[in-house]
């Protein structure tokens, strides 16, 4: 069966018929439910700091001269992470004249009187023209929110609430994560607030595109098997220290059935990529994207991304990349198709220098050092 990526961790309800891939109806985010969490298993031991000898810990504690080691169990304390981070994760409800839906968000910055919350663009897009947004906290309090800015191409949005002195999520470093690292996801799947799941990082630099033709979002995604479902959109993917390393954005689903629930393939926007967009939205309400200045040949069936034409005066033309070249790698990352090329380029900030390896139309290969341009993202 064909596997397709769908846009929604967001639960949408509408007065019209809902398209395939969406869950019918929206469960309100008013109820508070936290998933059961299993404490780390394994054998509690202590390592002597001087001799490195290993000792069994009868009560799970170690003396000051010994370091605690958990043998045979996970290296992540899900329970502790849930306790510390859940107050920084919120449920988001959108109401419009034709329906609405619910998603998730993370408190990113706070002052004495207001706070910024990060989420997905697709969570709040229905309220961009008309509609209301409310935010529900861990303790059940509900406040109104307004859109500060959103970037549909990166699927990132920032909303603001008039409440300050809130616990903010700690920002991690998505450049330092590896396949196999343990992760925790917190959000509001199906409107069930403060739901906690755990898993591992399954893959990195996974090219994912979502949305409709002409309004696509491109994500150089972190893939995880932590259970993520509709309503988790905009929630946090956390590392073993409880730091946010990704903004959950998409799932894969089997296209042969109508369900869009978790099948162990979730995708998250790396926080290092999202952070630039977030800061620009907070500062100006708008964001930018990097520009290579090429248009791809969508009829090309080979491996790589074939350049159909160049954008005059932009980065690719400036360094002399010829029309008809096939991009095979960008900074050493292999490119399988045009989506992979777009996703990889958009993972950089405008003004970045990247190595673009191409098969030349005249034969042979060449690597061009390109200084990426800048353009408004929306």
**pLDDT tens-digit profile of 73-107?**
446 889 999 999 999 999 999 998 887 888 999 99
Q: What is the pLDDT of residue 309?
A: 96
Q: How far is CA 297 from CA 212, 217, 289, in A?
A: 19, 19, 21
The full length of the chain comes to: 378
Residue 202's nearest CA partner among 229, 181, 173 is 181
- To the query of whether residue 141 is one of the catalytic residues in this protein, the response is no
3-state secondary structure the chain: CCEEEECCCCEEEECCCCCCCCCCCCCCCCCECCCCCCCCCCEEEEEECCCCCEEECCCCCCCCCEEEEEECCCCCCHHHHHHHHHHHEEEEEEEECCEEEEEEEEEEEECCCCEEEEECHHHHHHHCCCCEEEEECCCCCEEEEEEEEEECCCCEEEEEECCCCCCCCCECCHHHCCCCCEEEEEECHHHCECEEEEEEEEEEEEEEEEEECCEEEEEEEEEECCCCCCCCCCCEEECCCCCEEEEEEEEEEECCCCCCCCCCCEEEEEHHHHHHHHHHHHHHCCCEEEECCEEECCCCCCCCEEEEEECCCCHHHHHCCCCCCEEEEECCEECCCHHHHHHHHHCCCCCCEEEEEEECCCCCEEEEEEECEEEECC
Pairing of strands 326-330, 305-310: antiparallel
Q: What is the pLDDT of residue 15?
A: 34
Q: What is the pLDDT of residue 62?
A: 86
> If the chain, 378 residues long, is cut into consecutive pieces of 10 residues, what is the mean pLDDT of each piece?
44 36 25 32 67 73 79 71 94 88 94 97 90 93 96 95 97 94 90 88 88 75 89 92 94 62 83 96 96 96 96 96 97 93 94 97 96 91
Nearest-angstrom CA–CA distance, 148 and 68: 45
Assign domain 1-40+75-286 to a CATH class. mainly beta
**What are the residue ranges spanned by the domains of the chain?**
1-40+75-286, 43-74, 288-376
Q: What is the pLDDT of residue 100?
A: 81
Q: Are 173 and 272 in contact (CB under 8 A)?
A: yes
3-state secondary structure 149-185: EEECCCCEEEEEECCCCCCCCCECCHHHCCCCCEEEE
Q: Are 133 and 150 in contact (CB under 8 A)?
A: no
Q: How far is CA 71 from CA 42, 178, 315, in A?
A: 5, 21, 52
Which one of 122, 151, 202, 260 is the catalytic residue? 122
Which one of 233, 260, 325, 377 is the catalytic residue? 233
Residue 139's nearest CA partner among 163, 156, 174 is 163
Q: What is the pLDDT of residue 42?
A: 52
Q: How far is CA 190 from CA 32, 107, 194, in A?
A: 12, 20, 11
- To the query of whether residue 122 is one of the catalytic residues in this protein, the response is yes
Nearest-angstrom CA–CA distance, 286 and 158: 10
Which one of 77, 151, 155, 337 is the catalytic residue? 155
Nearest-angstrom CA–CA distance, 60 and 299: 62
Nearest-angstrom CA–CA distance, 29 and 58: 43
Q: What is the pLDDT of residue 23?
A: 23
Q: Are 90 and 104 in contact (CB under 8 A)?
A: yes
Q: What is the pLDDT of residue 102?
A: 86
The CATH homologous superfamily to which domain 288-376 belongs is: PDZ domain (2.30.42.10)
Q: What is the pLDDT of residue 1?
A: 38
């Amino acid at each position: 069966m064909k596997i397709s990526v769908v846009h929604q961790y967001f639960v949408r309800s509408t007065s019209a018929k809902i398209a395939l891939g969406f869950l019918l109806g929206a469960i309100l985010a008013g109820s508070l439910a936290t998933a059961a969490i299993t404490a780390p298993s394994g054998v509690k031991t202590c390592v002597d700091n001087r001799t490195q000898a290993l000792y069994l810990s009868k009560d799970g504690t170690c003396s000051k001269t010994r370091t605690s080691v958990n043998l045979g169990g996970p290296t992540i304390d899900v329970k502790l992470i849930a306790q510390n981070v859940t107050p920084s994760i919120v449920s988001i409800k959108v109401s419009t004249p034709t329906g609405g839906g619910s998603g998730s968000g993370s408190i990113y910055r706070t002052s004495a009187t207001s706070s910024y919350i990060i989420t997905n663009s697709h969570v709040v897009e229905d309220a961009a023209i008309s509609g209301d947004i409310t935010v529900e906290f861990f303790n059940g309090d509900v406040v109104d929110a307004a859109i500060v800015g959103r970037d549909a191409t990166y699927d990132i949005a920032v909303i603001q609430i008039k409440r300050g002195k809130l616990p903010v999520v700690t920002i991690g470093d998505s450049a330092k994560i590896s396949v196999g690292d343990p992760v925790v996801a917190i959000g509001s799947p199906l409107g069930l607030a403060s739901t906690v799941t755990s898993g591992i990082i399954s893959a990195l630099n996974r090219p994912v595109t979502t949305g409709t033709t002409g309004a696509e979002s491109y994500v150089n995604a972190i893939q995880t098997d932590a259970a993520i479902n509709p309503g988790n959109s905009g929630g946090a993917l956390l590392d073993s220290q409880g730091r946010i390393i990704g903004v959950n954005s998409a799932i894969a689903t089997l296209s042969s059935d109508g369900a869009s629930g978790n099948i162990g393939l979730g995708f998250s926007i790396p926080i290092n990529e999202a952070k630039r967009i977030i800061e620009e939205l907070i500062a100006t309400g708008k964001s930018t994207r990097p520009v290579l200045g090429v248009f791809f040949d969508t009829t090309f069936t080979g491996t790589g991304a074939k350049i159909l034409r160049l954008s005059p005066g932009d980065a690719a033309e400036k360094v002399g990349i010829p029309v008809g070249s096939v991009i095979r790698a960008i900074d050493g990352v292999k490119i399988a198709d045009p989506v992979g090329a777009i996703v990889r380029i958009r993972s950089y900030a405008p003004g970045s220098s990247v190595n673009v390896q191409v098969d030349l139309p005249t034969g042979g290969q060449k690597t061009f050092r390109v200084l990426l341009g800048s353009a408004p993202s929306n």
